[in-house]
């Protein structure tokens, strides 16, 4: 699986977007340096693009915040503003505030790095609960997981961030680069592209979008460092689990793969493309029993397909021996490529589907996509087989825990 992860290759990936601008825009207009002390460095590994999730326009990205100063800090607030904003209805620019986080709303965004290096490629993975504190010891980093909803008529090219801090020991900070209690002007560009439109990975049936798009799912929070760089390849991943006529994901006992409705279901190509990776010889697990998970077997049997420049779809946990396509084969949207299985880091049959910017299941950044069409049948937590909504959806992603069917 990690044949692509040559160390020289990893460095050719997208560089971190450095949002630590030292007020560059202001400096240009005043013709003198506006450099000022800053308590932290802020980096965004992958700038966001607008994506529809359950009919809302959202921007999903992270802020990696590192304390470079001589005093401990506590991050107490993050405000997010539309930058370069224009309302399509009024054509007036706006400096509107899009979000304002403090207290528990800030705590829900934060994820200290020491709790985040887990590999969540399974529907059984549990994320560490985010701590409700922005404490940043000297040299430490926290990641703010951002999930910003943008009003329908607002056109923006970037986001501006303002951070507030408590400095634990101001006397130690005198005249040093972290004696400020606020940092403004951290700009994250918005990629002016549209997510690719994928066709469904299944022909029919009722499917649950497990660990689906949200700001707290195990996929969303799965930061994995590979060859010296941290990635979130699963930023928009979904664990598709089939729901059967009994309203559950299996029938009879859970100890046989064949009792899971998903097991053996055909998996379809979601776009035209070229097969760039195939693994097909990993035994399926006994349900509920994980193998020793390594970076080599975490995705189990899988297929990766290049569907556009710098755009790859990975289908993971496939059934052993079920893969119909071969390496470098050009395939068409809608053909069967494999069957759903239970191989790799999984405790029950499901399809893990993700889209990334590189030909790797882990050493890549997850990028957004939308599904062409599906029907929303409710949420899994209170789904009733014989009594549910049936809402057509188009060119959107289902939110986490959605139960859907494909027309």
CA-based nearest residue to 99, from 77, 81, 76 = 81
Q: Residue number with the shortest CB distance to Zn ion?
A: 352
Min dist. Cβ of residue 146 to Zn ion (A): 21
By beta-carbon proximity to Zn ion, the closer residue of 121 and 355 is 121
Min dist. Cβ of residue 366 to Zn ion (A): 11
Instruction: Measure the CA–CA gap between 240 and 23, rounded to whole angstroms.
Output: 44
By beta-carbon proximity to Zn ion, the closer residue of 44 and 343 is 343
Stretch that binds Zn ion, among 84-92, 162-170, 181-189, 347-355 (CB under 5 A): 347-355
By beta-carbon proximity to Zn ion, the closer residue of 163 and 250 is 250
CA-based nearest residue to 147, from 131, 139, 159, 155 = 159
Strands 336-339 and 97-102: unpaired
Min dist. Cβ of residue 235 to Zn ion (A): 12
Give Cα separations from 202 to 32, 269, 295 (angstroms): 59, 9, 27
By beta-carbon proximity to Zn ion, the closer residue of 40 and 298 is 298
Min dist. Cβ of residue 238 to Zn ion (A): 7
The answer to whether 118 and 125 are in contact (CB under 8 A) is yes
Instruction: Measure the CA–CA gap between 313 and 356, rounded to whole angstroms.
Output: 7
Min dist. Cβ of residue 237 to Zn ion (A): 5
Min dist. Cβ of residue 58 to Zn ion (A): 20
Window 202-241: contact mask with Zn ion (x via CB under 5 A): -------------------------------------x--
Please report whether residue 400 would count as binding Zn ion according to CB under 5 A. Answer: no
Please report whether residue 352 would count as binding Zn ion according to CB under 5 A. Answer: yes
The answer to whether 141 and 113 are in contact (CB under 8 A) is yes
By beta-carbon proximity to Zn ion, the closer residue of 302 and 352 is 352
Window 99-138: contact mask with Zn ion (x via CB under 5 A): ----------------------x-----------------
Token pair, residue 398, equals: 């289902």
By beta-carbon proximity to Zn ion, the closer residue of 59 and 121 is 121
Instruction: Measure the CA–CA gap between 62 and 208, rounded to whole angstroms.
Output: 26
Min dist. Cβ of residue 363 to Zn ion (A): 16
Instruction: Measure the CA–CA gap between 304 and 324, rounded to whole angstroms.
Output: 13
**Number of shown-chain residues binding Zn ion (CB under 5 A):** 3
Stretch that binds Zn ion, among 18-26, 28-36, 88-96, 348-356 (CB under 5 A): 348-356
| DSSP symbol at 250 | B
Min dist. Cβ of residue 234 to Zn ion (A): 6
Give Cα separations from 219 to 38, 66, 205, 234, 287 (angstroms): 32, 23, 24, 5, 21
Instruction: Measure the CA–CA gap between 220 and 212, rounded to whole angstroms.
Output: 8
Q: Is the dihedral of CA 252, 257, 258, 263 positive or negative?
A: positive
Binding residues for Zn ion (CB under 5 A): 121, 239, 352
């Amino acid at each position: 699986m990690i044949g692509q992860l040559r160390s020289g290759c990893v460095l050719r990936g997208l560089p971190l977007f450095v949002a630590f601008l030292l007020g560059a825009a202001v400096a240009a207009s005043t013709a003198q340096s506006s450099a000022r002390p800053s308590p932290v460095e802020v980096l965004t590994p992958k700038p966001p693009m607008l994506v529809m999730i359950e009919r809302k326009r959202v921007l999903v990205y992270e802020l990696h915040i590192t304390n470079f100063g001589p005093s401990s800090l506590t991050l107490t607030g993050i405000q997010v503003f539309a930058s370069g904003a224009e309302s399509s209805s009024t054509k007036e620019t706006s400096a509107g505030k899009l979000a304002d986080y403090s207290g528990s709303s800030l705590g829900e965004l934060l994820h200290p790095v020491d709790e985040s290096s887990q590999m969540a490629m399974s529907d059984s993975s549990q994320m560490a609960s985010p701590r409700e504190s922005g404490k940043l010891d000297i040299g430490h980093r926290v990641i703010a997981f951002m999930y910003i909803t943008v009003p329908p008529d607002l056109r923006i090219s970037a986001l501006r961030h303002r951070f507030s801090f408590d400095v634990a020991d101001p006397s130690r900070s005198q005249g040093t680069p972290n004696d400020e209690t606020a940092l403004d002007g951290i700009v994250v560009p918005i990629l002016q592209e549209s997510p690719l439109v994928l066709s469904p990975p299944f022909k029919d049936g009722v499917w649950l979008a497990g660990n689906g798009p949200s700001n707290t799912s195990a996929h969303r929070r799965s930061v994995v460092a590979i060859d010296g760089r941290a990635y979130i390849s699963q930023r928009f991943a979904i664990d598709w689990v089939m729901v059967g006529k009994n309203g559950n994901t299996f029938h009879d006992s859970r100890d046989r793969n064949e009792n899971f409705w998903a097991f053996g279901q055909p998996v379809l190509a979601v776009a035209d493309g070229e097969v760039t990776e195939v693994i097909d010889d990993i035994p399926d697990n006994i349900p509920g029993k994980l193998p020793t998970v390594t970076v080599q077997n975490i995705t189990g049997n899988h297929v990766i397909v290049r569907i556009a420049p710098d755009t790859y779809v990975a289908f993971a946990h496939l059934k052993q021996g079920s893969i119909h396509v071969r390496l470098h084969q050009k395939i068409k949207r809608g053909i069967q490529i494999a069957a759903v299985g239970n191989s790799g880091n999984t405790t029950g049959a499901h399809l893990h589907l993700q889209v990334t910017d590189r030909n790797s299941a882990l050493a890549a950044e997850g990028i957004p996509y939308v599904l062409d069409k599906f029907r929303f049948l409710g949420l899994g937590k209170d789904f009733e087989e014989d009594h549910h909504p049936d809402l057509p959806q188009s060119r959107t992603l289902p939110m986490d825990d959605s139960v859907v069917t494909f027309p």
